[in-house]
């Protein structure tokens, strides 16, 4: 059973916390963010919002003009949008027409949301839940999700985010390759699928057809100390802000430059060539 949490938005106009009713959407629209001053912001329902669903509160966006950044709160006055973008742990991309970006579940605590040049502060109060009794199978062995994951070694290492971020900092090509490969996930497309690996190799002029696969295996080792978690990789990278729309923009720019320079065509020819086995 999901604990029912209360969500509050800081009202600059009233200088107090305003409750977000669970039975309706709280829209982060032109009125709430700017007091109807900033006409570049959208009105409901074409903007970002907060809603309560079965698993708790989530941040979603139908904004077709602005990315929405979610970052942990900081002490002191509300910071500017540049700070929120730099420290964001989730970035909701610009929503495609008639769709909304993939929502983000809100953990308990204090948060900052930035839309355009505006920042709003959130407070999510989640009551502590009593420890549930584990389900027991026919052999009286306690079977829980946690024990199952522990047996499979599926929990990321304590330094997983740091290791991946450091690797991406050292190896820009790997970062761009993964951004290009997972671009539908970054864009929040419905039922996203990875880009075919050979397309990534051609677009970014990688060393060979196995380059993307090698990057994936290496990242799984950084995160889980083993392979076999390919299905979890996109969620981990996006959920921890290790791949963002900015990375995808950079990857697409490199791909476009490679196409104009004829590098992609050379890569296509190279991949078609298969030396005969001796």
Instruction: Out of 90, 125, 160, pick the residue that ends a domain.
Output: 125
Position 5 scores a pLDDT of: 80
Under the banding of pLDDT at 50, 70 and 90, the label for residue 135 is: very low
Return the number of other C-beta atoms located less than 10 Å from residue 266's C-beta: 13
Answer positive or negative: Cα dihedral of 64, 65, 69, 70.
Answer: negative
Is residue 131 domain-resident?
Answer: no
- Helix, strand or coil, per DSSP, at residue 60: strand
Under the banding of pLDDT at 50, 70 and 90, the label for residue 192 is: confident
**Residue 193 pLDDT > 80:** yes
Same structural domain, 264 and 158: yes
Same structural domain, 220 and 253: yes
- Helix, strand or coil, per DSSP, at residue 278: coil
**Residue 111 pLDDT > 90:** yes
The position carrying tokens 């030396």 is 275
Position 261 scores a pLDDT of: 94
Query: What is the C-alpha to C-alpha distance for residues 228 and 221, in angstroms, rounded to an integer?
Result: 9
Instruction: Out of 125, 157, 180, pick the residue that ends a domain.
Output: 125
The boundaries of the domain holding residue 176 are 146-272
Structure-token pair, residue 12: 């600059």
Same structural domain, 55 and 105: yes
Identify the CATH number of the domain in which residue 94 sits.
2.60.200.20
State mean pLDDT over 228-256. 87
Return the number of other C-beta atoms located less than 10 Å from residue 136's C-beta: 11
Helices (H), 131-196: 145-152, 160-170, 172-181, 183-186
The proportion of the chain whose per-residue pLDDT surpasses 90, expressed as a percent, equals: 45
Same structural domain, 187 and 91: no
Is residue 278 domain-resident?
Answer: no
Same structural domain, 111 and 207: no
Same structural domain, 163 and 261: yes
pLDDT tens string 5-26: 899 998 766 678 889 998 889 9
The position carrying tokens 């966006």 is 61
The total number of structural domains that make up the chain? 2
If phi over 0 gives left and psi between -120 and 50 gives alpha, with beta otherwise, what is residue 241? left
Instruction: Out of 125, 160, 186, pick the residue that ends a domain.
Output: 125
Contacts 24+ apart (CB under 8 A), 80-84: 80/119, 81/114, 81/116, 81/117, 81/118, 81/119, 84/112, 84/113, 84/114, 84/119
How would DSSP label each residue in 246-268? HHHHHHHHHHHHHHHTTHHHHHH
Structure-token pair, residue 228: 């076999």
Structure-token pair, residue 237: 């990278």
User: Picking from 198-207, 215-224, 235-244, which range would have the lowest pLDDT averaged per residue?
Assistant: 235-244
- Average pLDDT of the chain is 82
Is residue 47 domain-resident?
Answer: yes
**Residue 88 pLDDT > 80:** yes
Position 255 scores a pLDDT of: 95
Same structural domain, 115 and 195: no
pTM: 0.50
Is residue 191 domain-resident?
Answer: yes
The proportion of the chain whose per-residue pLDDT surpasses 70, expressed as a percent, equals: 83
């Amino acid at each position: 059973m999901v604990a029912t949490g209360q969500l509050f938005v800081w009202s600059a106009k009233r200088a107090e916390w305003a409750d977000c009713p669970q039975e309706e959407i709280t829209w982060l629209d032109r009125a709430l963010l700017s007091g109807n001053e900033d006409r570049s912001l959208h009105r409901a329902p074409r903007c970002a919002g907060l809603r309560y669903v079965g698993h708790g509160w989530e941040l979603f966006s139908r904004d077709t003009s602005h990315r929405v950044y979610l970052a942990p709160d900081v002490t002191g006055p509300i910071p500017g949008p540049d700070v929120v973008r730099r420290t964001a742990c989730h970035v909701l991309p610009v929503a495609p027409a008639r769709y909304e970006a993939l929502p983000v579940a809100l953990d308990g605590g204090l948060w900052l949301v930035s839309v355009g040049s505006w920042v709003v502060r959130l407070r999510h109060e989640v009551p502590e839940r009593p420890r549930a009794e584990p389900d027991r199978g026919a052999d009286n062995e306690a079977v829980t999700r946690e024990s199952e994951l522990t047996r499979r070694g599926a929990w990321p290492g304590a330094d997983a985010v740091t290791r991946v971020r450091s690797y991406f900092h050292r190896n820009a090509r790997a970062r761009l390759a993964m951004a290009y490969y997972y671009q539908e996930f970054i864009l929040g497309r419905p039922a996203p699928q990875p880009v075919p690996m050979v397309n990534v190799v051609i677009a970014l002029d990688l060393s060979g057809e196995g380059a993307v696969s090698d990057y994936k295996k290496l990242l799984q080792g950084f995160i889980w100390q083993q392979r076999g978690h390919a299905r979890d990789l996109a969620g981990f990278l996006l959920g921890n802000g290790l791949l963002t729309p900015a990375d995808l923009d950079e990857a697409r720019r490199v791909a476009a430059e490679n196409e104009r320079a004829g590098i992609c065509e050379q890569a296509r020819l190279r991949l078609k060539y298969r030396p005969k086995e001796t």
